[in-house]
Amino acid sequence: MAKHKSAEKRDRQSKVRRLRNRMNKSAMKSAVRQVEEALVAGSEEEAKAALQRAIPIIGKTAAKGTIHKKTAARKISRLTKRVNTMQPLA
């Protein structure tokens, strides 16, 4: 347990940031999962619509610092490639 005032504050901040990061990452994963489900279903229009909703969410997650910006770029690139070729995850 933290003993100094500054350590107690750092503990409080860490808890808030952890919850915020978890919320952002969860929203991103849900958006990606919707794209995956559309790919498995084979619905091209639904997959493209889900991708258009997922791209800004992934970008915002990176902008907030929850994931690295290159990780976000890689996720967006791979999802876009799979939607364009309509290949579900192997």
- List per-block mean pLDDT (blocks of 10 residues) for the chain, which spans 90 residues: 91 96 98 95 93 98 97 97 82
| Domain assignment of residue 10, yes or no | no
Q: Is position 36 within any domain?
A: no
Asked, for residue 55, whether it belongs to a domain, the answer is yes
Is 12 a domain residue?
no
State how far the Cα of 41 lies from the Cα of 83, in Å rounded to an integer: 12
Total domains, the chain = 1
Residue 67 lies in a domain: yes
Read off the pTM: 0.86
